[in-house]
Each structure stands twice: as structure tokens, then as C-alpha cells.
Chain A
Amino acid sequence: MYTDKVMEHFMHPRNVGTIPDADGVGEVGNPVCGDMMTFYIKVKDGRLEDVKFQTFGCGAAIAVSSLVSEMAKGKTLDEAMKITNQQVAEELGGLPPHKMHCSNLGADALHKAIENYLEKQNRQRPEGGGEEKKSQDKEAHFHCPFCDYTLPENAQLCGHCQIRLIRCEHCGEYNREKDETCRHCGAGLV
């Protein structure tokens, strides 16, 4: 089910742990399956001197956080903010469709840690930040939240399991029409 690269990171994750005197901490919970990721960063001269993470989640979630930590280390804050979920998934040689949401967690948690640092510094967040990038990744692929069938951009019905779908206005992900809140970002659905 997973590529060798995913398994390798799962078995030997880099940068696991906490940084007690971290400059920034970012925590994201996964509303889809209820998992959690925390990133800790140390910043020196505008660069990520150290990155550590902890993850409560599946094999993909662990591999994703490990890879994100590795990619981020040594980068400037701007560069690190540009790491996208899509890149992470690609670096890992791909993830199964129903595991794509795990890759969202990794970069989000890192970005949150950087934002936390910037807030503490009371500075603006750098240009070209995570939000824009995020909307770019989203164009890639959509999957039915129930059967993982690949969906076109504007599906109202899953062609496979026939569930009526609605897209979240906030994050763009598909949900079931009767859902009240988005199972990806938790925003209210109309």
C-alpha cells in the first residue's frame, strides 16, 4: 500500500521529539480521522536551525511529518512556508488517495509553527505564505470522502458510490451533502 520511501520514513523517522525552548510551536489536529501533529522550531538568522515533531497518526502521517521536518531544516522561513502538501506527497513517491489528507497535516503544522514564531516576534508573515500555496495544491485531485473515487472539479454526485456531495467553501474539500461541518477543516457547511 505504501511506497518504500514512506516505509523508510515510518521506520526511521528523522527529527522526532520536542524542543523545550522552541521559538515556535504548531499543532494541528486532523478532523478527518482524529489524529494530531505537533511541530517545534528553532530559528536563527531567519533560518530554521532545528525542527522537531511529534505525531499521533497512521504510517503515512508519521512519514509525512518526518519528511517535512527534513525538508524544512536549514531553510529560510520564506522557503519553509512554500513547502506544499503536494510536494511532500510527491517526494514520498505518492500516497494512496485516502491518505492524501495526512500529507495536508505535515506542512500545515510546520507553517503554524512558523506563524507562531512570527507572532511572537510581532512581525508580519512573509510574502507568498502558506495560504496561497494551499489553494494551489487543492487543484490537484479530489476524492470522494466515502469511497475514495477520484472526482472531477465540480462533482455534485460521486460517480462511484452515488453519494451527494458538497464542497466546503473554506478549504474546497468534498463532503457529504447532509454534513453540517467540513470533515477536513471543521468549517460550517451551507
Chain B
Amino acid sequence: MNGFYADKQAAAAVRPEVLEAMLPFFTENFGNPQSLHSVGQKAARALQTAREQLARLLNCQPEEIIFVSSGSEANNLAVKGLALANQARGKQIVVSAIEHVSVLKAARFLEKLGFKTVQVPVDSYGLVDVGKVAEAITPDTVLVSVMMANNEVGTIEPVAEIASLCRSKGILFHSDAVAVVGNIQVDVRAIGLDALSLAADQFGGPKGAAALFLKKGTKITPLIDGGVQESNRRAGTENVPAIVGLGRAAELAMMEMDKKGQRLARLRDRLISGVLTRLDEVILTGHPERRLPHHASFCVKFVEGEAMLLGLDLEGIQVASGSACTSKSLRTSHVLTAMGLDPAVAQGSLVLTLLDGTREEQVDYFLEKFPPVVRRLREMSPLYTRFLEEKKDVHR
């Protein structure tokens, strides 16, 4: 047993097969894909292979992939690039209230340029209501952006329904699928997406490689102007080693995803039911069934997330939290707030994302160590003392 790292969403090791594929592109195959000579062309071929590997995973054409540097860049490119290039169609953007900040802030940027943003609310599970999206759409709507699954609460959103709604109205639809691609099947054709964001570091690939799927024929304004890379849609010398890694990771994900997902979902359920039976006054955040296979998230009442995170770290367990104290801006997570959670309850946020290789004994180790960490903090908590007193009063 060497601890339990359950913060895959923040970072995970690059898979050895992926690293192996990447290494030659740091050294002997150092070429620039834009160079016409043979050294450059070798790199260009590698880039093309990666594009094909990713296209197979998403069920799209290789030309529909734009490589970028991060999920945030993909989201920025989608929201800003699609809105700007298609503003003749309208100047209103519809997003969900629980989008990643890179979507929300990109929309805010557009507001300064005269666009209007409408945020669609979510229910207490963090689910976006398709009817509410329909209500938010006006003749002026140019773009709808709703994530495929939320990274903080794991809820999988009804993007196929939203996509068909948008298609029927001739509105562009983008989905941030950073938390999803490589973990569960995503078929951009079957869903009917115009654009989708993904990042390699969420499925065994390196940091620094991500992509935007953009349906053929869709107009987009680049964020970075310069050379002709990525068919004039993203200038700058390509990060060849990282993109090669992305491609290889996509290939591996395609082969293993289903089996791995089933295994992780079992461990996730063991973890969730284990926590809920061992501790009182804990709520599962996000949807109980419609959730990512590797994702478990809770709010533990009367304690604060950062304190739990530190306490667990001392036991060799690494997790994340969306509490205000954990964020450097000291603001409560907009996701938990949008789900209607009381701010004091949201302070007890804990997010676990399981690595591919997570073992059952690690989950059990967590289940053994977690309750004492919570108990210790609750004994220190004025809110818990008050809760116990009120409970006594009720019983009297």
C-alpha cells in the first residue's frame, strides 16, 4: 500500500507507452512540421498520425481537430472564436451556470464587446434542464455552450438533447468535454456537436496538449494570429512531443475505456456507499447515477474542505476540494452555489477522482482513514457542537 492519490483531474502520471511514443520527438525527431525538408516532414507525419488517432476516438475527420495547449485554451477558442466569427447570426450566448471558469470568463470577455450571456440554472444534482436551455434561446442566440460532465460534481449533462435542440434552431453548440474524453465514449457525430474541448492530461497523456474538435465548415476566429499551423486556426509552432503523446493516449483510451470505466465505476460506488454509511451528515454532490465513472464528490457538514484535505494528506491520501478556503480567491465554488447548496455546507466540499490503476484496497484504506479525520475536525467545530445541542433539544 503506498497511499491513495485520488486527484486525477488535477494531474496524473503520463502512461509509460505514451511517454515512450513522445521521447524521440524531444531528441532525434526534433523537426518543425512546417519545414519542407525531410526532418520537418517526419514531424509533420507524426502530427498527422496523432490527428488521425484522436479523430478515431471522437469519430470525426482528422481535419476537424485543432491542437491547442490546454483545455482552457480550447474553451476560449470555442467560445470567443465561434461567437466572433458568427456574430452576424446573433450576439447572445447561452451557457450553463456550472461551466468551467474558462468558459464563463470567455463569455464575460465577449460581453465587453457587446455580446450578451445568459446562464442557465441547474438543479440540485447539477443537471442542466434542456427546457431551460430552450427558454434561454432567442432569435439572437449564436452559441450554446454546455459541458459534457462537470468536473466538480461529476454529473453527466444531457448534451445530446441540447445538441439536437440547437441543431433544430440553427444555433452553434459547443461542449467542454475535458473531464470526459478518454474516460467514456464520446461520438461527436452521434451527439451532433459543432465543437468540443478535450485535454490529454485527463486520459494518460501529457500536460500541454489539448484539442478542439470543430465540425467541418464551421467558421472560427483564431485567438492566436501568425503562421498557418492548424489550418490557419491556431498559429504557433506545434508542441510535437505532447501532441504525439495525446494521439497515443487517445489510441490506448479507445481500446481500454469501456472495461476501465466499468471497473472504476465499481470502485467509485464502493467509495460512495462506504462514505455515506460510515459518516452521518454527509451528502453526495452531483448525480447518483449519471456521473463520471472515476468521480466521487461529497459535502461533509460542519467541517471545512481544506482542513480535511490536509488531514488526509498526512495519511498519504490526496484529494481536492471546492471550498472557499481552498481557492485562492476565497470564493465558494460557483458550481456548488449554483446547485443551491448552503455556503456553510459547500465549505465541506471534497472531490475524489480515481486514477486508472486505483485498487480496491486503496479505496478501503480511504474508508478506514477518512472517518477519523472528519471526527477530529468535527470535535473542533463550533457548528458541530451547535448541531449536537440542537439535536438534544429536539429529543428532549
Contact = CB atoms under 8 A, between A and B. Distances in A.
B296 interface: no
A144 B325 CA distance: 16
A56 B374 CA distance: 12
B381 A56 contact: yes
Contacts of A35: 304, 325, 347
Interface string B309-350: 010001000000001111011111000000000011001000
- Name the interface size band of chain B: 20 to 34
A100 to B, nearest CB: 11
A145 B331 CA distance: 10
Interface residues of A, number: 30
A57 B379 contact: no
B91 to A, nearest CB: 24
A96 to B, nearest CB: 9
Contacts of B382: 27, 36-38, 54-56
Interface string A23-41: 0000100001111111000
A36 B306 contact: no
B328 A58 contact: no
B324 A55 contact: no
A34 B347 CA distance: 8
Interface in A82-123: 98, 101-102
Contacts, number: 75
A62 interface: yes
Query: How would you classify the secondary structure of chain B's contact residues: helix, strand, loop or mixed?
Result: loop
A56 B304 CA distance: 6
Contact of A33 (B307, B314, B347, B385): B347
A55 B385 contact: no
Given A59-B310, A146-B329, A16 B379 contact: yes
B281 to A, nearest CB: 13
Contact of B302 (A56, A98, A101): A56
Contacts of B228: none
Nearest to B379: A16
Contacts of B324: 32-34
Given A33-B330, A34-B344, A34-B347, A55 B325 contact: no
Contacts of B326: 58
B306 to A, nearest CB: 4
B380 A62 contact: yes
Contacts of A36: 382-383
Nearest to B331: A33
B321 to A, nearest CB: 10
A45 to B, nearest CB: 28
B68 interface: no
A89 B303 CA distance: 23
A35 B304 CA distance: 8
Given A33-B324, A35-B304, A148-B328, A55 B380 contact: yes
Interface string B360-383: 000000000000000000011111
20 contacts: A7-B310, A16-B380, A27-B382, A35-B325, A36-B382, A38-B382, A54-B381, A54-B382, A54-B385, A55-B381, A56-B382, A56-B384, A57-B325, A58-B306, A59-B307, A59-B310, A98-B328, A101-B330, A102-B325, A145-B330
Given A33-B324, A34-B344, 10 more contacts: A33-B347, A35-B304, A56-B302, A56-B382, A58-B304, A58-B307, A58-B325, A61-B304, A101-B330, A147-B328
Interface of A: 2, 7, 10-11, 13, 16, 18, 27, 32-38, 54-59, 61-62, 98, 101-102, 145-148
